[in-house]
Amino acid sequence: MASIPWSVAEESLDVNFSVPLQLRLRCTRNCFLDDWDQVLPLLKSDSRQARVQIWMDRNVVDNNPAILTNLSRRISESSDSLELVAPIALVEGGEQIKNDPDAIETIFQSIDRDGLDRRSYILVIGGGAVLDAVGYAAAIAHRGIRLVRFPTTTLAQADSGVGVKNAINAYGKKNWKGTFAVPWAVVNDQSLLEHLPDRDFRAGFSEAVKVSLLKSPAAFRFLCDQAHAIVARDWNAVLPAIRSSVLMHLHHITHGGDPFEMQEARPLDFGHWSAHKLEHLSQFRLRHGEAVSIGVALDTVYSHLVHGLDRADMQRTLQVLRDLQLPLFDQELDAQTIFDGLEEFRQHLGGRLTVTMLRAVGQSVNVHSIDQVAMKESIEMVREFSLAKVS
Ligand SMILES: NC(=O)c1ccc[n+]([C@@H]2O[C@H](COP(=O)([O-])OP(=O)(O)OC[C@H]3O[C@@H](n4cnc5c(N)ncnc54)[C@H](O)[C@@H]3O)[C@@H](O)[C@H]2O)c1
Ligand SMILES: [Zn+2]
Q: Averaged over 147-163, what is the pLDDT?
A: 97
Beta-bridge partner residues of 124: 55, 149
Protein residues with CB under 6 Å of any ligand 1 atom = 57, 59-60, 63, 93-95, 98, 126-130, 132, 152-153, 155-156, 159-160, 163, 165-166, 192, 195-197, 200, 203, 287-289
3-state helix, strand and coil shares in percent for the chain, rounded to the nearest 5 = 50, 15, 35
Band (pLDDT 50/70/90 cuts) for residue 197 is very high
**With 70 as the cut, is the pLDDT of residue 124 above it?**
yes
Long-range contact pairs involving 196-201 (C-beta distance under 8 Å, separation at least 24) = 196/63, 196/152, 196/153, 196/154, 197/63, 198/233, 199/287, 200/127, 200/153, 200/154, 200/155, 200/287, 200/289, 201/153, 201/154, 201/233
Cβ atoms < 10 Å from Cβ of 128: 31
Q: Averaged over 96-125, what is the pLDDT?
A: 97
Q: How much is the pLDDT for 1?
A: 60
Out of 28-32, 45-49, 241-245, 378-382, least confident range: 45-49
Query: Each residue of 199-222: pLDDT tens digit?
Result: 999 999 999 999 999 999 999 999
Is 283 or 328 the better-scoring residue by pLDDT? 328
Domains defined for the chain, CATH in brackets: 24-193 (3.40.50.1970), 198-387 (1.20.1090.10)
Out of 152, 174, 270, 278, mutate this one to test ligand 1's pocket (max ligand atoms within 8 Å of CB): namely 152
Instruction: Determine which residue's CA is closest to atom 29 belonging to ligand 1.
Output: 60
Distance CA 290, CA 199 (A): 9
CA of 163 to the centre of ligand 2 (A): 10
Q: How much is the pLDDT for 391?
A: 55
CA of 289 to the centre of ligand 1 (A): 9
User: Best-predicted range by mean pLDDT among 97-101, 276-280, 348-352?
Assistant: 97-101
The maximal CA–CA distance of the chain, rounded, in angstroms, is 76
CA of 5 to the centre of ligand 1 (A): 48
